[in-house]
């Protein structure tokens, strides 16, 4: 359904960015045959020094049609294409494989008009797999690809806007013999005090000769954190991920990564990164998430510093929209851990951008044995997009753990007070029959939910009080051979 809202957004804000490949990504290669039977390979063109504009569109897309017919691409192709300066190629790629040849020619049922007549640059039909390789999420998506394979989402700009991108110095073809370039930091971003962080960077050869060595340093201001002498054999435009080694940090630190050996072009010799120092906490961790309208996209995990997953929820496990869900996790020992939240669509829990929806949130906190709050590890309010976001956690003390606590100690009603429905979150240490019975203060049974036999673990049950009179109610829970009763107030 979100793709429908993507289409609506496309209608009104054609250049808004969502989960596409971000600027600075390496363009996936493709080989495709256009509707005239001519085969094209992206990397072959880039190796010739050409710049390439890719327009991912669909025949039924109104904004795509409006841009296609405004003459921008025709003027670009005439000026900079094969009959002009011969520095540019343009491809119109139909990203929806359900459309037909008739749709392309303006005679089908899913089309805005005749896309073929008057189009001087190649049209590639059935390009859905290419669109998917570029993480396509909406139409039109227009990329400029430089000879170095790096992409910029140029969007529906004018002729001058496109030209400014592909004629910029950083979009020029390789011309110097020795030109190593740093693309971006790829190492760890969170650290516990004194714990080593693995540091790495993407290195590209922008020289016309094979790159065989360079020295790369991590700098904290004027202080060298570490230095690494890289050696290898990179062809022009080839990329290597370079493991620089490990460094320890005692505070959150922003740093630069620099090529310190001599080369023919020092403009692209620097990149930046940052390490956030992990918050300290206990081994008892509460993860609280309010889902947005697309709960199936949400995932999270807690892992140790060796990458072993302690607890996780995979995408697809959450199914209820606009629901507050709570998990209690006991990590096994002191040490450095990380919490990572994912969103498969790439828009985080920022739901309001799609219409009249409520943003979700994620709150990760640690507690002591008495379930008293100790510290906040991660606090996301739903105000920004992400595909994956992480926070470090330095566990300095080990709790008894909720698996050793009584049912009464690990049962919670939230929200409380509430309107219409609330959540009963509990953890049972043993398998067994489970049920929830709700009584009013005169002993009348309001709700009776038989949960069947539950395995040991954490659960969240929604209690629906729709149509029930406001007042105080007693929630009686039986699970794992134990019982507990909690008070709740219906507003």
Provide mean pLDDT across the span 28-48. Answer: 97
Residue where one domain finishes, among candidates 139, 171, 203 = 171
Where does the pLDDT of residue 406 fall: very low under 50, low under 70, confident under 90, or very high at 90 and above?
A: low
pLDDT digits (tens, 9 = 90+) for 456-475: 888 889 999 999 999 888 88
Where does the pLDDT of residue 325 fall: very low under 50, low under 70, confident under 90, or very high at 90 and above?
A: confident
Where does the pLDDT of residue 129 fall: very low under 50, low under 70, confident under 90, or very high at 90 and above?
A: very high
**294 and 270 within one domain:** no
Q: Report whether pLDDT(379) > 70.
A: yes
Provide mean pLDDT across the span 350-375. Answer: 91
Q: Of 194, 243, 241, 239, which is closest to residue 218 (Cα–Cα)?
A: 243
Q: Report whether pLDDT(441) > 80.
A: no
Strands 253-259 and 270-277: antiparallel
- Prior bond to 140 cis, omega within 30? yes
Instruction: Yes or no: say if 472 and 431 are a contact pair by the CB < 8 Å rule.
Output: no
**231 and 209 within one domain:** yes
Range of the domain at 247: 180-277
**147 and 60 within one domain:** yes
Say what the pLDDT of residue 257 is.
Answer: 97
Q: Of 257, 252, 258, which is closest to residue 275 (Cα–Cα)?
A: 252
Q: Which range among 20-34, 195-209, 285-299, 395-409 shows the weakest confidence by mean pLDDT?
A: 395-409
**310 and 236 within one domain:** no
Say what the pLDDT of residue 155 is.
Answer: 94
Provide mean pLDDT across the span 103-126. Answer: 97
Task: State how far the Cα of 40 lies from the Cα of 134, in Å rounded to an integer.
Answer: 17
**196 and 135 within one domain:** no
Say what the pLDDT of residue 365 is.
Answer: 95
pLDDT digits (tens, 9 = 90+) for 176-233: 999 999 999 999 888 888 788 899 999 999 999 999 999 999 999 999 999 999 999 9
Distances (CA, A) of 482 to 245, 262, 306, 449: 52, 71, 37, 16
Task: State how far the Cα of 339 lies from the Cα of 300, in Å rounded to an integer.
Answer: 7
The mean of the pLDDT values for the chain is 90
Say what the pLDDT of residue 405 is.
Answer: 59
Task: Give 394's Cβ-side CA count (13 Å radius).
Answer: 15
Conformational region of residue 349, where left means phi above 0, alpha means psi within -120 to 50, and beta covers everything else:
alpha
What CATH number has the domain bearing residue 315? 2.60.40
Where does the pLDDT of residue 9 fall: very low under 50, low under 70, confident under 90, or very high at 90 and above?
A: very low
Most confident of 99-103, 248-252, 426-430: 99-103
**425 and 375 within one domain:** no
Residue where one domain finishes, among candidates 218, 242, 277 = 277
pLDDT digits (tens, 9 = 90+) for 161-180: 999 999 998 899 999 999 99
What CATH number has the domain bearing residue 262? 2.60.40.10
Q: Report whether pLDDT(424) > 60.
A: yes
**435 and 399 within one domain:** no
Where does the pLDDT of residue 250 fall: very low under 50, low under 70, confident under 90, or very high at 90 and above?
A: confident
Q: Report whether pLDDT(402) > 80.
A: no
Provide mean pLDDT across the span 396-424. Answer: 76
Say what the pLDDT of residue 59 is.
Answer: 97
Where does the pLDDT of residue 148 fall: very low under 50, low under 70, confident under 90, or very high at 90 and above?
A: very high
**325 and 260 within one domain:** no
Provide mean pLDDT across the span 426-439. Answer: 87
What CATH number has the domain bearing residue 53? 3.40.30.10
**314 and 202 within one domain:** no
**304 and 220 within one domain:** no
Higher pLDDT among residues 357 and 345, named by residue: 357
Q: Report whether pLDDT(286) > 70.
A: yes
Structure tokens at 484: 């507990």
Provide mean pLDDT across the span 383-393. Answer: 91
Residue where one domain finishes, among candidates 252, 277, 302 = 277
pTM, to two decimals: 0.68
**164 and 32 within one domain:** yes
What CATH number has the domain bearing residue 421? 2.60.40.3080
**350 and 425 within one domain:** no
Q: Report whether pLDDT(374) > 60.
A: yes
Total domains in the fold of the chain: 4
Residues 187, 193, 195, CA angle at the centre, nearest 5°?
A: 50
């Amino acid at each position: 359904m979100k793709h429908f809202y993507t289409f609506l957004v496309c209608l009104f804000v054609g250049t808004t960015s969502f989960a596409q490949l971000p600027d600075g990504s390496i363009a996936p290669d493709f080989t495709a045959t256009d509707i005239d039977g001519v085969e094209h390979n992206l990397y072959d063109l880039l190796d010739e020094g050409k710049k390439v504009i890719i327009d991912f569109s669909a025949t039924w897309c109104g904004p795509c049609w409006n841009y296609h017919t405004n003459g921008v691409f025709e003027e670009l192709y005439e000026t900079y294409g094969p009959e002009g300066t011969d520095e540019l190629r343009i491809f119109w790629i139909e990203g929806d494989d359900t459309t037909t040849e008739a749709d392309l020619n303006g005679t089908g049922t899913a089309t805005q008009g005749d896309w073929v007549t008057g189009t001087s640059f190649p049209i590639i039909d059935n390009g859905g797999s290419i669109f998917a390789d570029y993480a396509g999420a909406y139409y039109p998506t227009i990329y400029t690809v430089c000879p170095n394979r790096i992409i910029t989402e140029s969007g529906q700009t004018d002729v001058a806007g496109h030209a400014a991108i592909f004629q910029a110095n950083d979009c020029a073809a390789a011309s110097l013999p020795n030109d190593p370039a740093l693309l971006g930091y790829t190492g760890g971003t969170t650290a516990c005090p004194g714990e080593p962080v693995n540091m790495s960077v993407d290195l590209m050869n922008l020289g016309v000769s094979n790159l065989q060595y360079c020295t790369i340093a991590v700098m904290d201001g004027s202080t060298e954190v570490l230095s690494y002498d890289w050696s290898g054999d990179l062809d022009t435009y080839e990329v290597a991920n370079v493991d620089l080694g490990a460094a320890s940090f005692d505070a959150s630190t922003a740093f630069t990564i620099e090529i310190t050996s001599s080369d023919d072009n020092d403009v692209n010799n620097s990149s930046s990164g940052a390490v956030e120092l992990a918050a300290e906490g206990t081994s008892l961790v509460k993860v609280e998430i309010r889902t947005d309208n697309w709960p199936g996209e949400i995932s999270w995990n807690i892992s140790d510093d060796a990458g072993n997953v302690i607890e996780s929820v995979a995408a697809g496990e959450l199914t209820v929209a606009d629901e507050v869900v709570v998990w209690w996790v006991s990590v096994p020992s002191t040490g450095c851990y990380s919490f990572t939240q994912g969103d498969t669509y790439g828009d985080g829990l920022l739901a309001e951008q799609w219409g009249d929806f409520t943003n979700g949130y994620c709150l990760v906190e640690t507690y002591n044995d008495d379930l008293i709050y100790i510290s906040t590890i991660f606090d996301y309010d739903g105000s920004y997009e992400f595909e994956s976001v992480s926070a470090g956690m330095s566990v300095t003390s080990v709790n008894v753990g909720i698996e050793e606590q009584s049912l009464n100690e690990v049962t919670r009603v939230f929200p409380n007070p509430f309107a219409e429905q609330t959540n009963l979150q509990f953890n049972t240490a043993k398998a067994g029959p489970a049920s929830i019975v709700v009584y009013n203060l005169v002993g009348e049974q309001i709700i009776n939910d038989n949960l069947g036999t539950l395995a040991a673990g954490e659960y969240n049950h929604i209690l629906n009080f729709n149509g029930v009179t406001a007042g105080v109610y007693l929630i009686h829970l039986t699970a794992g051979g134990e019982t507990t009763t909690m008070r709740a107030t219906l507003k």
